[in-house]
């Protein structure tokens, strides 16, 4: 199984599989055969354990969003790429 760092880099290298959010991005990578089910579960757990400490201003003003798994505006890849790059450095 690949490391978190390798999996995060794989996400960056396969941005064409991004649709809506980090978790779904990982799911679509699995569906495309880029990662296996174990790696999908590892990525999903890592993402949920390391969600951003400060949510975007989009979330700050949207109470229903605070209760969801969305950390940034649906479909906006830029903050997600920034988060991935930060976590590649950490790992």
Instruction: Report pLDDT digits (tens) over 8-63.
Output: 999 999 999 999 999 999 999 999 999 999 999 999 999 989 987 655 545 545 55
Nearest in space to 11 (alpha carbons), one of 49, 90, 2: 2
Residue 91: how many other CB atoms lie within 10 Å: 14
The CA dihedral of 23, 38, 13, 65, to the nearest 10 degrees, is 10
Task: Quote the pTM value.
Answer: 0.83
């Amino acid at each position: 199984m690949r490391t978190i760092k390798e999996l995060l880099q794989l996400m960056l290298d396969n941005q064409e599989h991004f649709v809506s959010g980090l978790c779904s991005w990982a799911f679509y990578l699995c569906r495309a055969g880029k990662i296996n089910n174990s790696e999908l579960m590892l990525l999903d757990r890592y993402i949920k354990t390391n969600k951003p400490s400060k949510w975007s201003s989009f979330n700050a003003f949207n109470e229903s969003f605070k209760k969801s798994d969305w950390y940034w505006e649906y479909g906006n890849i830029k903050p997600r790429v920034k988060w991935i790059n930060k976590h590649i450095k950490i790992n």
